Amino acid sequence: MIPTLPDSLELSPEQFRNLVEMALDQLVPHLAGVADLPLDGTAADPDATTIMAASLRQALPASGTDPRALLADLVGRVVPHSFTTISPGFMAYVPGGGLLHAAVADLVADTLNRYVTVWRAAPGLAEIERTVGRWLCDIIGFPASALGVLTTGGSLGGLSALITARRARFGDAEFRHAVIYTSDQVHHAVTKAAVQIGFAPLQLRSIPTDDAYRMRLDALAAAVAADRAAGRVPFLVVASAGTVHTGAVDDLRGVADLARREQLWLHVDAAYGGFFCLTARGREAMAGIEAADSVVLDPHKGLFLPYGTGALLVRDAAALQRAFGGWASYLPRPDAGWDGLDLCDVSPELSRDFRALRLWLPLKLHGIDAFRAQLDEKLDLARWAADALRAVPGIDLVAEPQLSLLAFRLVRPGRTEAELDALNRALLDRINARQRVLLSGTTLGERFVIRMCILSFRTHRERVDEAVTIVREVVRELASG
């Protein structure tokens, strides 16, 4: 037992070890049973969830609490009222794997608590940050001039990309006539970021997509031409390498060619799909991504890391410095590292955690081939799931998997669209009620569809097989009911 220390925040080495071991006493059994935990711990008893959440609204504690009891309450009482995102059955949204290696890396990084955004403060650790960014650039095929910066996720990465592009194109000049182009399937974080940095909604163009939910190049070209003719300034196009709705990958090579002709900054949102570039099939699907000016990746998706691990890659490192560079007299002057740049000169963050270690450690321990094999397996599983679902009577594959995400719905002859939507919502509810697989829904046009995203390192054939079996059984239940 660690004694409460009301007059000191320091832990002795023995107390620190005991505290970590107490945490492991809770976490190891939790992980051992994760495959059989409920997928949605809020669904069985919503009132109990509300009561649990309300119980945490407490006054600021004046004195300490027994650590063993506190950790047991957190893991045993609070955590179960949530989505079990680390389960092999979690196929809703985009799963977050949470590699345990990264937890070890965070323990090391947080314990050492070194400052990495100024090279002089921790040269070796700053070089690890730089090296990890370079690895990510290599994965998508960016040149030596590129720079990768770790972020908290795709939202901050996309926001930083738009700021970088705006500064590169307009500097300090006004940009009220500039126009940004996205597909109608773009992640809402992109349009949210554009508004946050000063673009009016009227400066955003939503380009229609084709039957595979990929941006139509003819419609994009027409929109650019119309804006030029009206005296506006076509500025930036956002292409998707794995949309949130269906996992669609735009024709990146075609968009890149158009962007080059029209002198548009090309940003690729590859938060979900970008790491499939590690595979032969993914590289083929995303041909042209290497021609982008900026790319967002989420290692907390495609590299199975904990939430809060994103990356922004920019082809021209100098563009990042123009957007975020600055110096104050209380900071050490830039040193020889990072080619004369400090991390804070290429990012909006000045103080932050040593984020790179959670990528560096598992990549060094396993090598990239282990991750490549996992991603290839997910592509196989998605294709198998699509074929199996297509064989279920009444199931329509609305979106074939271009990567590891697919969308389907149940159809019944003679039903109205409203009736079909209600039927599919009931289908989704019943699937999820089994608590063996968690899927999610979205709307494509006016149709409600069900999404299955396979991207956890814990998800293998047996759980996908079980998911399809559950879909088949629930479809039969609905038919007989």
The predicted pLDDT at position 336 comes to 53
- The answer to whether the beta carbons of residues 307 and 96 sit under 8 Å apart is yes
Half-sphere exposure of residue 106, counting CA atoms within 13 Å on the CB side?
A: 13
Contacts of 313 (CB under 8 A, 6+ apart): 133, 136, 137, 140, 142, 146, 147, 148, 149, 294, 295, 296, 297
User: What is the dotted CATH code of the domain comprising 369-480?
Assistant: 3.90.1150.170
Query: What is the residue-level pLDDT of the chain in tens, covering all 481 positions?
Result: 555 554 678 999 999 999 999 999 999 999 999 999 999 999 889 999 999 999 999 999 988 899 999 999 999 999 999 999 999 999 998 877 789 999 999 999 999 999 999 988 999 999 999 999 999 999 999 999 999 999 999 999 999 999 999 999 999 999 999 999 999 999 999 999 999 999 999 999 999 999 999 999 999 999 999 999 999 999 999 999 999 999 999 999 999 999 999 999 999 999 999 999 999 999 999 999 999 999 999 999 999 999 999 999 999 999 999 999 987 878 776 655 556 678 999 999 999 999 999 999 999 999 999 999 999 999 999 999 999 999 999 999 999 999 999 999 999 999 999 999 999 999 999 999 999 999 999 999 989 999 999 999 999 999 999 999 999 999 999 998 6
- Of 154, 192, 126, nearest to 338 by C-alpha is 126
Closest CA to 303 of 86, 90, 96, 2: 96
pLDDT of residue 334: 62
Q: How many CB atoms lie within 10 A of CB 403?
A: 30
Judge if pTM exceeds 0.75. yes
pLDDT at 339: 66
How distant, in Å, are the alpha carbons of 20, 103, 146, 299, 312 from that of 359? Answer: 22, 11, 19, 8, 14
What is residue 6's predicted lDDT score, i.e. its pLDDT?
47
CATH number of 107-367: 3.40.640.10
Closest CA relative to residue 148, chosen from 302, 296, 367, 355 = 296
Contact partners, residue 160, CB within 8 Å, separation at least 6: 149, 151, 312, 323, 324, 347, 348
Cα 213 from chain centre? 20
343-366, pLDDT tens digit by residue?
Answer: 999 999 999 999 999 999 999 999
What residues contact residue 264 under an 8 Å CB cut-off, 6+ apart?
Answer: 181, 224, 234, 235, 236, 237, 258
Q: pLDDT value at position 94?
A: 85
Looking at residue 97, its pLDDT comes to 77
pLDDT in tens, 449-468: 999 999 999 999 999 999 99
